[in-house]
């Protein structure tokens, strides 16, 4: 439902499919992963090698920033 020019409009999924020309009554069909990755390889994509021991580090939040937030909440 939507309010357009002060008029209540009901939009159904069928109308959206018609407007977008989605004739897939059964829904969207996804390609199998193997087919997707084959296509990526044909386009020149190479999967980056990941070292099993490699760590992902996320920088810690700065204490000053946290203090400012605490002060703003307390005020």
Confidence of residue 74 (pLDDT cuts 50, 70, 90): low
* 9 has pLDDT over 80: yes
What are the DSSP calls for 8-61, one per residue? EE---HHHHHHHTT---TT-PPPPPHHHHHHHHHHTT--PPP--TT-----PPP
Mean local confidence (pLDDT), 25-53: 79
- Can you give the pLDDT at residue 66? 55
Confidence of residue 30 (pLDDT cuts 50, 70, 90): confident
The tens digit of pLDDT for each residue in 56-66 reads 666 766 555 55
CA angle 59, 61, 64 (to 5 degrees): 140
Q: Let me know: does 1 contact 10? Beta carbons within 8 Å.
A: yes
């Amino acid at each position: 439902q939507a309010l357009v020019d002060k008029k209540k409009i009901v939009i159904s999924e069928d109308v959206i499919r018609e407007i977008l020309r989605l004739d897939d009554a059964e829904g969207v069909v996804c390609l199998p992963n193997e087919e997707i990755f084959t296509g990526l390889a044909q386009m020149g994509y190479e999967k980056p090698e990941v070292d099993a021991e490699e760590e992902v580090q996320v920088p810690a939040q700065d204490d000053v920033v946290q203090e400012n937030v605490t002060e703003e909440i307390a005020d």
